[in-house]
Amino acid sequence: MFTTAPTPPLRAPLGSERYRLTLPSTANAARIARDFVGSLLRVSRHLSLVDDARLCVSEVVTNAHRHTRTSLIRVHVAVNRKRVTVSVADEEACAGNALAALRAGPEHGGGRGLLLVESLALAWGTNTLDGCLPGHKAVWFTLGRPDPQP
C-alpha cells in the first residue's frame, strides 16, 4: 500500500516555454499526446526525458479518456533547460479519485498507472482548475534533474 504526502500546486518551471494541445477524448488521444510531448522534448534537447515523459503522458491521458466523461482533453507542457512539467486537464470536477488509484492492491487488475508516474516524476499531483476552467481538474507531473541538495 502506498501513501502520498500532499503535493505542491502545479508550477511551471522558471524560464519555460509553454505549449498547449486540445484533443477530443478518443482512443487515439494518448498516442497523439505522447507524440506531441515526445516531439517537444526532442526539439528542446531533452532526449533523456523523452521515454519517461511519453510513458507518463500516456498514462494520464488514458486515465482521462477511460475514467471520465470528458469530451476534450487539454495537454499543457512547460519546458525549460532542466525540467518539463506536463498537465492533463479534463472536464471532471473531482480530483480525489487520482489519489485513490495509488491505493490499488495486487488484487486489482488496473490502477497502477499513477504509481508509474509517481516513480518516474520529481513531483506530481492533482489540481482543480476553478479559476481558469471552472469544474475541471488536472493531473500534472514534472520530470527532469532534481535541485541540488544543500
DSSP 38: H
Whether 110 and 78 have beta carbons less than 8 Å apart is answered as no
Cα–Cα dist 103/9, whole Å: 21
pTM, rounded to two decimals: 0.80
Average pLDDT along the chain: 81
Model confidence at 135, in pLDDT bands (50, 70, 90)?
Answer: low
Q: Which residues make Cβ contacts (< 8 Å) with residue 3, sequence separation at least 6?
A: 102
pLDDT digit string, tens, across residues 26-81:
999 999 999 999 999 999 999 999 999 999 999 999 999 998 889 999 999 999 99
Task: For residue 32, give the C-alpha cell.
Answer: 497523439
Q: CB of 5 within 8 A of CB of 134?
A: no
SS3 state at 71: coil
Q: Which domains does the chain have, with CATH numbers?
A: 17-144 (3.30.565.10)
Minimal CA–CA distance to 125: which of 80, 91, 84, 95?
95
